[in-house]
Amino acid sequence: MTIELKLGAHFPWGSNLASVIEFSRRAETAGLDSVWLTDKFTTHGELWTTAALLAMSTERIRIGLDATDPYRRNIVVTAHAAATVDEISGGRLTLGIGRGTMDLFHAMGIKPARPAIAVREAIEVLRRLLAGERVTYAGEWIHLEGAQLTIRPVQQPLPIFQTASAPELVDLAIEIADGLLIWSGGLDYLRSIRERAEQSSPRTRNGRWPFAIAPWIPFSVAEDAGVARQALRPRMTEVIRRVPPAMLKVMGIDDELVAPLRQAWARGEFARAESLLSDEVLDCWAVYGTPNQCAEKLCSMAEAGVTHAMLQFTDRWEEELSLFSQAIVPQLAQ
């Protein structure tokens, strides 16, 4: 089976709204297929306002949402926003939805219930609303009485990706979504997800094929591999210390490699924690190094079944985008 690898970009950590716009324009010029926003009040601008701004600031690149959830907005509001941004962009939106972030819910006083059911209901209702149906729905989480949009998206159907980490949510995405947004991991982990998707029956997939597998991949490229590696270490230390041991195992990372880092962080020894982030863990999760090394790793991911590589650039993004365009894209095009 031939797999075409699409290359998307998450914004560098800590981006403000002005740099989000500039990054998107530069990413479009560099040949990336998509840019991806997160739905967190702790990052840059509000999701839908920023998505509309990017739609008006770019011409070709797709705008992805990684991802909203069923709890913080009524599902009709989400459908209305998605249809509006898709129209503004001329049909360039990919809607991501998932269970959401527990820390954010706690800060907002929200108690999410039965996420697998809530996500299933949300995707079902979103599809119907975006298709122009008048929807009456009595679910466990979603309740509607004759809701109908007066605007429809340009894309019919509008692609809906689902975030997942737990195996049961991965299976749900394979069943009902157009793609899966996940954390990256070892090649065996990524390959197993592709195999699970390919083993699903056409009836289970409801005719939605091919199925997109889109891991979030910390990314750094430089002429000196050591520079690329060092650029990733601070933020990756902060991220990986929060990943549960069970999830690390699924991703192919031995928790014994991370436990000392986690313990140092808990003691407030942040520099020590960063020094304990091993190259073995970085190699499993991230793509970094020289342009040749990055191209080789991306090709390996494509061979394992990845269809969309969602690259998280560092604060060296201007240099990284230049190298990406000049030295990585030509190799992947061969």
Residue 285 has pLDDT above 80, yes or no: yes
C-alpha to C-alpha distance for 71 and 34, rounded to whole angstroms: 26
CB 36 within 8 A of CB 9: yes
What is the pLDDT of the chain when averaged over all its residues?
92
Average pLDDT over residues 283-287: 93
Residue-wise pLDDT tens digits, 167-215: 889 999 999 999 999 999 899 999 999 999 888 755 455 556 689 999 9
Q: Which two tokens stand for residue 23?
A: 């990054």
The sign of the dihedral angle between the CA atoms of 239, 185, 323, 50 is negative
- What is the pLDDT averaged over residues 27-49? 90
Of 146-150, 197-201, 223-227, 324-328, where does mean pLDDT reach its minimum? 197-201
- Give me the pLDDT at residue 246, please: 86
The mean pLDDT of 221-230, rounded to a whole number, is 96
Superfamily for the 6-235+286-332 domain = Luciferase-like domain (3.20.20.30)
- pTM, whole model, 2 decimals? 0.93
What value does the mean pLDDT take over residues 298-318? 95
What pLDDT, on the 0 to 100 scale, is given for residue 199? 85
Cis before residue 9, ω within 30 degrees of 0? Answer: no
| Cβ proximity of 81 and 65 under 8 Å | no
What percent of the chain has pLDDT above 70? 96
Specify the amino acid at residue 97: I
The pLDDT assigned to 176 comes to 93
pLDDT the model gives residue 309: 96
Per DSSP, what are the bridge partners of residue 247? Answer: none
Residue 2 has pLDDT above 50, yes or no: no
pLDDT tens digits for range 113-124? 899 999 999 999
Percentage above 90 pLDDT, the chain: 77
pLDDT at 247: 85
Average pLDDT over residues 262-268: 95
C-alpha pair distances (Å), 211 with each of 98, 103, 201, 208, 293: 17, 30, 12, 7, 27
Higher model confidence: residue 12 or residue 89? 89
Crossing angle for the helix pair 17-30 and 47-57, nearest 10 degrees? 40
pLDDT tens digit sequence for 125-138:
999 999 999 999 99
What does the pLDDT look like over 244-263, one tens digit per residue?
A: 888 898 888 999 999 999 99
